[in-house]
A and B are shown apart, each in its own frame.
Chain A
Amino acid sequence: EPEVTQTPSHQVTQMGQEVILRCVPISNHLYFYWYRQILGQKVEFLVSFYNNEISEKSEIFDDQFSVERPDGSNFTLKIRSTKLEDSAMYFCASSELGGPGANVLTFGAGSRLTVL
């Protein structure tokens, strides 16, 4: 069964450093998403991406965050200058189409980011 692949599985970084989290969505999917889960808190929507542009973003997704699809397969989340509060599990997801009816999200296993 097709999978969403995320790398790295765990990254430790110093506060203020830039981090790039990578995702390979399912090949025929057109919509891409990032969610995050701070330890002990709910999974939260960050951003959705379609046709090489952001279609929606949450208030969490401020100027220090950016997303990109640099080639035909990867989808990346960049955090420009990490803060302690960015420590979380980041989940990439993709869907074939944008609607929630039959086009459910397939999630990756997550990338744990630890900011020291």
Chain B
Amino acid sequence: AQTVTQSQPEMSVQEAETVTLSCTYDTSESDYYLFWYKQPPSRQMILVIRQEAYKQQNATENRFSVNFQKAAKSFSLKISDSQLGDAAMYFCAYTIKAAGNKLTFGGGTRVLVKP
């Protein structure tokens, strides 16, 4: 069974600084997708960034970037120039192509941003 592990329950970052959230996953599949979702206190999960496993280039969305290490099965999220609005729970998620949008989630990392 696929598993997704986020080893950091909580991370704190100073405004304008950088924070990196870790995520590891376990799979025997080769064609899969990885996601980072953000869940602000309003509770709605919002897609931050996604990565297709067959693409070697790391995905980037503005201040958010990933470090995808396929061999190590690692998918970390870097938030640069942290803003107060980045404070949220961040979930790493995985799915194989054949499973469509049946996602397997990690346990989440709470990000606190200090002004």
Contact = CB atoms under 8 A, between A and B. Distances in A.
Interface residues of B, number: 25
B16 interface: no
Interface stretch (B65-73, B79-87, B94-102): B94-102
Interface in A84-115: 89, 91, 93, 95, 98-101, 103-105, 107-110
A43 to B, nearest CB: 4
A42 B103 contact: no
Listed from nearest, the 3 A-B pairs whose CB atoms lie closest are A43-B105, A107-B45, A109-B44
Interface of B: 33, 35, 37, 42-47, 50, 52, 91, 93, 95, 97, 99-108
Interface of A: 3, 31, 33, 35, 41-45, 48, 55-56, 89, 91, 93, 95, 98-101, 103-105, 107-110
